[in-house]
Amino acid sequence: MRTKASWAYDFLCDRSLEDIIAVLDKESPWAWEVRDSAWYGDYLSTSPAADCRVTIHSYPYAGDAGWFLGLHDSGFSALLRIGTESPAERPAVDETFHMLLAKLGARSLTEIEPYD
């Protein structure tokens, strides 16, 4: 994906991925799904608009590429990307994502470098 915007967060949350998707299914305007990856393990993914993707990964995870770690002993990271062909804009995607994090009871939200 060629991007016009790419950013990421690290955060803590007392919920599991299964609990997070249960809340997102009720509260989010976006349709979320559970996916899996050799790099990140199970993770959550949504596409708020064409050529736009938001993912939430749980860490630590030992996968084919080694360890996927974050800022804490355990927690979550989120990667948000808007492609060049997307009508989405970062402020609107970020506002909705922050609203969802509040509903999850997320804390210690820290912007981090985007990752692949």
pLDDT digits (tens, 9 = 90+) for 40-50: 788 999 999 99
H or E, element range at 100: helix 90-104
Number of domains in the chain: 1
Strand partners, 112: 8
Residue 47 sits in a domain whose CATH number is 3.30.160
pLDDT number for residue 64: 79
pLDDT number for residue 40: 78
With 80 as the cut, is the pLDDT of residue 116 above it? no
Per-position b or e across 94-109, b if 16+ CB within 10 A of its CB:
eebbeebbeebebeee
- Expressed as residue numbers, the domain containing 27 is 3-112
With 90 as the cut, is the pLDDT of residue 110 above it? yes
Closest residue by Cα to residue 10 from 62, 42, 61, 57: 57
pLDDT digits (tens, 9 = 90+) for 52-82: 999 999 999 887 778 888 999 999 999 999 9
User: Whose structure tokens read 């749980």?
Assistant: 58
What value, to the nearest 5°, has the Cα angle with vertex 23 and ends 64 and 40?
5
pTM score, two decimals? Answer: 0.93
